[in-house]
Amino acid sequence: MFYFDPWLLIVTAPAILLMMWAQYRLRSTYTQGMQVGTPLTGAAAALHILESEGVTDVAIEETHGHLSDHYDPRDRVVRLSSEVFHSRSATAVGIAAHEAGHALQHAHGYVPLVLRNLAVPAAQFGGTAFTILVLMAFFLRQPQFLLFGIIAYSATVVFQLINLPVEFDASARAKRHLGELGIVEDSGATAVRKVLNAAALTYVAATLESLLTLVYYAFRFSTGSRSDDE
């Protein structure tokens, strides 16, 4: 019989603790970086980076919310939160440059980004299907539903694994362009590096949590199947 037990929290505890640390670091470095001035706003920095690479068909738009910054490959738009859009700070230009990095990946046909975009529907479906199938396995006491859930959740894990190099590469592009274009100097470069590294750590934690969750349920299915055979 399959059920939720404390072992799930124990197995995923390293990822949960890492995520808590990453979130703390991100909040801390975000605040510190906002105190380091830069000559350009986040919006201007993103536009400057894109134009320096000859990418002129990507719009820069303001959006609501905190840390809601993202690149939309369908509409080819870099959307920046109000604080990042308007602020002349290391945090703002670092985050904006990171999202511009995604736009550059798209423009240059960066393969991991292409794969990630293709994996998005499967990952979204996999996460929802996983929850439903695990509940069905629990209430109906039918282990095959758990197996189907594990297979569905694998799509989410694959997405997370593909996403890591995409995020790391976008940050690497951001750091390089900000330095080469003179948008940040020594203190600004340090602040940008801290913010982007903290953000990257959140992706690592999310990936680790997905992997450990998958391992836990695969183990539960394996041991449950053996118990049923005895």
The residue from 83, 99, 167, 209 that is catalytic is 99
Contact in structure between 79 and 63 (CB atoms under 8 Å): yes
Residue 178: closest CA among 70, 62, 186:
186
Examine the residue annotation and report whether 83 is marked as an active-site residue of this protein: no
For residue 165, the one-letter residue type is P
Looking at the annotation, which residues are catalytic?
Answer: 99
